[in-house]
Structure 1
Amino acid sequence: MILKKLGLNTICTHVGEVVDNQFKGAVSPIYVSTSYEFLDVDVKRYPRYFNTPNQEFLAQKIAALEHTDSALIFGSGMAAISTLFMAFLKHGDHVVVQNTLYGGTVNFIKKELPKYGIEYTFTDGYKTKNFEKAIKSNTKLIFIETPSNPLMTVTDIASVARLAKQQGILSAIDNTFASPVNQNPIDFGIDIVMHSATKYLGGHSDISAGALAASKDLIEHIWHSAINFGGNLSDYTVWLLERSIKTLGLRVKAQTNNALHMAKWLSNHQYIKNVYYPGLEEHPEHELAKSQMHGFGAMLSFELNEDIDALKFQKQLKLIKSSMSLAGVESTVISPFLTSHALLTPEERMAVGISDQLIRFSVGIEDIEDLQNDINQAINQTKNNK
């Protein structure tokens, strides 16, 4: 197969299949063995070495989706992030990280990197000039996230990638919110793409996984650390993830279309103070998002005005689930100050714009009118009971 000539949904469906040569089944068989032949074989397979048949072929699918040569599959998004950092950073090195990052990533950086004598700097903002200002002589890595969690800020991928290359620094991105359907950072010069595959790649709220995609050389470098940290994914879950990705293009496009409709509707709602979604023309990075995204994604956030108790509002929702995580086919909401950013201090949250009234909305595949009716009834119930 010539991958560059295949469309998104064809890649999702066919690339990275494990061919069932014995029984000619239509789907990949599962190889659950933890013990493989080691004599007279080209590949000595072992689950922790990321090279069982299901791991190997799923990595090919994710690499194809992200336009890279290679990929690795991990047990969680944080396993992927931590392995990435530790593979390229050592005592005395420095990393520049975007200030609008997922709270779990921020916590890992602050709590773990100092133990190893690794320095870090959070940028003052998410513009290229902010990254340039933070670079030091010992900087080895720049890590960005766009769109960011949960305020949907948009970073100029190509500009940051150029800056990194000019300085001889590796660049990496958390591409979870966009997914490969809506954004391919490798095409803009980024070196390494990371995903919490728990989210859109899995898409059904029943898988925990992570992924890194990059050139063959970079993935091999990461692999040498990954086999020591032991963050591989079980082959049964690998199989489930490969199955789920077959519908990735269809799911994410439907969710993205719904999110744009919901963002426009929410922005005109009398009880909504602010809506954060790059697909809105009033979003400060709308034009930038248009230039580097194929769609604006299915994640948005909105701030309820002070007449509505944010926690009571979520409890009144009937269809939309108040639930951790995101990106399933079902719509969900959370309060970031209690979940993704709970490990930050109140002062740290306010510094990056995370208020107690902020609701992160993962838009699913339901009918738009049903989602709107659910939000309206929850607002009315909360307003009347305040």
Structure 2
Amino acid sequence: MELNGRTAIGFEEGRSSSAKWFDDLTRVRFAGPVSAHHRLLPRELSPETLAVHAGTYEDPVTGCVGTPVFQTSTFLLDDASYSAFADGAMRDVPIYTRYGNPSQWAVQEKLAALEGSRSAIVTSSGMSATASTIFALTNAGSHIISAYDVYGGTYNLLREDMPSTGREVSFVDPNDLAAVRAAVRPETQLLFFETLTNPLLKAPPIGALAEIAREANALLVVDNTFLTPVNMRPIAHGADIVVHSATKYLAGHSDLTAGAVVGRRKFLDRIWAQTLRFGGTLEPLSCFLLERGMKTLALRVERQNANATEIARFLATHDRVAAVHHPEVGGPHYADLARDDYRGFGGVVSFEVRGGDDAALAFMGRLKIPYVATSLGGVESLVSMPSNTSHSSLTSGQRASIGIRPGLVRFSVGIENVRDLIDDLNDALNGE
């Protein structure tokens, strides 16, 4: 339908006079938000195709093949805007960029399509996405279950901020299903885990965790940053919500900070409202950069999967390496791994250099190709030590309890030639 020449999008039935709010709720949550000009594609298409085309804003005036940057803070008010305010549908009509913007909608539709879900929001950082999700889906007096070795920022949020807001948190080993089930309480509202843990790359059984969540009448939120929807779609395995630090693989070029949340519309509307209150909106130019970066996501991840696998196998044979943490080289964490659930395991390899932290620091200083820097998922290789970066807020005892031992290095493998990377690693390990 059109109002003053503008296409009304989403919640059309909710605007009709027949909606009965208390006796017979008829308002329908539509997917999106999207406009009539955003490209909608079947979720069954391959990630290679969806990454390029899903969500693109096909401009009716210029016919440009890329989404324009809607670099504006506000939009003209008209009947569609006023109806959106009246019906609680501000998310679906361009009113104010903090509420929604066609640049945001384009990249959100791409994300939703890739994860095989209905709706998505983008935020100003991965931690903004995580915090908004947890606060929106829990309340004071509730209980949350998570892992000891989630990302350090997530761990600090759960450990430091949740108790002060009346939410209790239990930390468990995500691969110990008996421990997860034993942690459930009547007030448990949320389980929060990662598809691959940071930095030890444990691979929790998402389907089994989803079953525990359903039995507890709780929600399962999964951080899919390390794998991306190219390697796994957690929602297909029963997860309710997926979050990303889009700074990493989704953007892919180490030039953007962003976050994302994907799931059913009824959950995403709540998280969207929480994001508004926290002020974590992603501005239009960053949305453009994220959408552009995601067009090559499948190609980049395919190369990083292959590079990381070859590097992990090389490191597992080197006498200066005490241990390698990666699914492709096996180990106790992967004994029950259902490999059919994965297309690959991403570009991170964690390994322990013999001689402890001093030896690891010296090794990193001898590398010639990778940058010694925090973060991951970019086209360039990055190397860092969790003990003095992402997990530096943990005590040595806490790090030891989750398996972060002295000399642990996290290598985020880029898209460079893998033989060049292996030769560089070999020289640096040998002290050359």
- Check whether TM > 0.5: yes
1:35-63 deviations in Å (ceiling 9; x for gaps): 101212351421221x1001112111000
1:186 aligns with 2:251: no
Asked if 1 retains the 8 angstrom alpha-carbon contact of 2:175 and 2:333, the reply is no
Asked if 1 retains the 8 angstrom alpha-carbon contact of 2:174 and 2:193, the reply is no
1:56-93 deviations in Å (ceiling 9; x for gaps): 12111000000110001000000000001110122111
Q: How many residues align?
A: 381
Asked if 1 retains the 8 angstrom alpha-carbon contact of 2:126 and 2:246, the reply is yes
Q: Aligned partners of 1:268 and 1:165: how far apart in 2?
A: 42
Q: Look up the SS of the partner of 1:3 in the other structure.
A: coil
1:257 aligns with 2:306: yes
2:53 to 8, 14, 22: 14
Q: Aligned partners of 1:186 and 1:309: how far apart in 2?
A: 41
**Partner residue of 1:103?**
152
Instruction: Name whichever of 241-250 and 106-115 sits farther off.
Output: 106-115
Q: Structure 2: which amino acid aligns with 1:177?
A: F
State the 1:299 CA deviation. Answer: 1.0
Asked if 1 retains the 8 angstrom alpha-carbon contact of 2:325 and 2:349, the reply is yes
* Percentage of matched positions with identical amino acids: 38
Q: Structure 1: which amino acid aligns with 2:60?
A: N
Q: Structure 2: which amino acid aligns with 1:245?
A: M
**Partner residue of 1:29?**
68
1:168 to 217, 221, 226: 217
**Partner residue of 1:318?**
368
**What TM-score does the superposition give when structure 1 sets the normalisation length?**
0.95
- Structure with max Cα Rg: 2
State the 1:8 CA deviation. Answer: 1.2
Instruction: Name whichever of 98-107 and 249-258 sits farther off.
Output: 98-107
Q: Look up the SS of the partner of 2:229 in the other structure.
A: helix
Q: Structure 2: which amino acid aligns with 1:244?
A: G
Instruction: Name whichever of 304-313 and 235-244 sits farther off.
Output: 304-313
Aligned pair in 2 of structure 1 residues 16, 44: CA closer, same or farther (>3 Å)? Answer: closer
Instruction: Name whichever of 40-49 and 60-69 sits farther off.
Output: 40-49
1:124-150 deviations in Å (ceiling 9; x for gaps): 553221211111111100011121000
Q: Aligned partners of 1:280 and 1:239: how far apart in 2?
A: 38
Asked if 2 retains the 8 angstrom alpha-carbon contact of 1:273 and 1:305, the reply is yes
Q: Aligned partners of 1:231 and 1:254: how far apart in 2?
A: 32
**Partner residue of 1:305?**
354
Q: Structure 1: which amino acid aligns with 2:210?
A: A
Q: Look up the SS of the partner of 1:259 in the other structure.
A: helix
**Partner residue of 1:3?**
42
Asked if 2 retains the 8 angstrom alpha-carbon contact of 1:278 and 1:286, the reply is no
Q: Aligned partners of 1:103 and 1:87: how far apart in 2?
A: 21
Pairwise CA RMSD: 1.5
Aligned pair in 2 of structure 1 residues 13, 283: CA closer, same or farther (>3 Å)? Answer: farther
Matches within 5 A, 1:36-47: 36-41=75-80, 43-47=93-97
2:403 to 338, 341, 353: 353
1:174-199 deviations in Å (ceiling 9; x for gaps): 11001111010000000000100000
Asked if 2 retains the 8 angstrom alpha-carbon contact of 1:335 and 1:356, the reply is no
Q: Aligned partners of 1:289 and 1:331: how far apart in 2?
A: 28
**Partner residue of 2:88?**
none
Q: Aligned partners of 2:174 and 2:46: how far apart in 1?
A: 36
Unaligned runs of 5+ in 2: 1-39, 82-92
Asked if 1 retains the 8 angstrom alpha-carbon contact of 2:150 and 2:197, the reply is yes
Asked if 2 retains the 8 angstrom alpha-carbon contact of 1:127 and 1:156, the reply is no
Q: Aligned partners of 2:56 and 2:197: how far apart in 1?
A: 32
Q: Structure 1: which amino acid aligns with 2:416?
A: E
Q: Look up the SS of the partner of 1:105 in the other structure.
A: helix
Q: Aligned partners of 2:338 and 2:367: how far apart in 1?
A: 31
**Partner residue of 2:381?**
331
**Partner residue of 1:144?**
193
Q: Look up the SS of the partner of 1:219 in the other structure.
A: helix
Matches within 5 A, 1:28-177: 28-41=67-80, 43-49=93-99, 51-177=100-226
Q: Structure 1: which amino acid aligns with 2:117?
A: T
State the 1:283 CA deviation. Answer: 5.5
1:284 aligns with 2:323: no
Aligned pair in 2 of structure 1 residues 39, 327: CA closer, same or farther (>3 Å)? Answer: same
Aligned pair in 2 of structure 1 residues 287, 93: CA closer, same or farther (>3 Å)? Answer: closer
Q: Aligned partners of 1:124 and 1:286: how far apart in 2?
A: 15
Q: Look up the SS of the partner of 2:350 in the other structure.
A: strand
Asked if 1 retains the 8 angstrom alpha-carbon contact of 2:41 and 2:54, the reply is no
Asked if 2 retains the 8 angstrom alpha-carbon contact of 1:276 and 1:283, the reply is no
Instruction: Name whichever of 26-35 and 239-248 sits farther off.
Output: 26-35
State the 1:289 CA deviation. Answer: 4.6
Q: Look up the SS of the partner of 2:192 in the other structure.
A: strand
Q: Look up the SS of the partner of 2:379 in the other structure.
A: coil
Aligned pair in 2 of structure 1 residues 226, 264: CA closer, same or farther (>3 Å)? Answer: same
Unaligned runs of 5+ in 1: none
Q: Aligned partners of 2:95 and 2:263: how far apart in 1?
A: 22
**What TM-score does the superposition give when structure 2 sets the normalisation length?**
0.86
List 4+ stretches of structure 1 deviating above 3 A: 281-284
Asked if 2 retains the 8 angstrom alpha-carbon contact of 1:99 and 1:123, the reply is yes
Asked if 1 retains the 8 angstrom alpha-carbon contact of 2:195 and 2:204, the reply is yes
Q: Aligned partners of 1:45 and 1:96: how far apart in 2?
A: 38
